[in-house]
Amino acid sequence: MFYKSAITSAAAVAAIGIAMPLAAAQKNGAIAQDFKLTDMYGKTVQLSSFRGKTVVMEWHNPGCPFVVKHYDSGNMQATQAAADKQGVVWLTINSGAQGKQGHMKGPEAQKLAKKQGMKSDHYLLDAKGVVGKAYAAKTTPHMYIIDGSGKLVYQGGIDDKPTANKADIKGARNHVMAALNELKAGKSVSVAQSRPYGCSVKYGS
């Protein structure tokens, strides 16, 4: 699943975690701020290269029990796979700073992605927190959806059950899948914003 789309590397952005200058926090209905990040294979990925496709961004910390809830249950992978069937691009982003919980370098991320059977297209490393802070990502997971025109159409939690209990996944409204299904049907997103829940993103100072 990783790297099913060809990405042109930019020589000017070769180091892990370096991103383009960004504005503070993103608003629904506005064009999502472009960025470049290095993925777990050392390749540069640029958000704007996916224009024309729906993009999901998922903030990730493997040590967070709320993230564990969704991965150990298979819920996040199932959501990623369902999104893939719709042609959606899924970007998993790690903004954990070096020395903080969840921080990983490329080889560690590759090992984890394989072990957990991640279905996302790219695992991006944002150790300096530039992109995470620009999008005001507060928790892991914190979910964002950008439509094909490049506009941000959803931000918030993956669902409406803000707990770390896997049993609560059953019966929860998966906000991400609901929004993707609405977009596919040509409808506006009925729940465009919700309260994100999980562990705080472990930014550096």
| pLDDT digit string, tens, across residues 178-199 | 999 999 999 999 999 999 999 9
Residues 55, 89 contacting (CB under 8 angstroms): yes
Q: What is the pTM of this model?
A: 0.89
**What domains are defined for the chain?**
36-200 (3.40.30.10)
**Average pLDDT, integer, range 20-48:** 86
pLDDT at 25: 65
169: number of Cβ within 10 Å: 19
Cα–Cα nearest to 143, from 173, 116, 165: 173
Length of the chain: 205
pLDDT tens figures, 51-73: 999 999 999 999 999 999 999 99
Q: What is the 3-state secondary structure (H, E, C) of the chain?
A: CCCCCCCCCCCCCCCCCCCCCCCCCCCCCCECCCCEEEECCCCEEEHHHHCCCCEEEEECCCCCHHHHHHHHCCHHHHHHHHHHHCCCEEEEEECCCCCCCCCCCHHHHHHHHHHHCCCCCEEEECCCCHHHHHCCCCEECCEEEECCCCEEEEEECCECCCCCCHHHHCCCCEHHHHHHHHHHCCCCCCCCECCCCCEECCCCC
Q: What is the mean pLDDT of residues 132-148?
A: 97
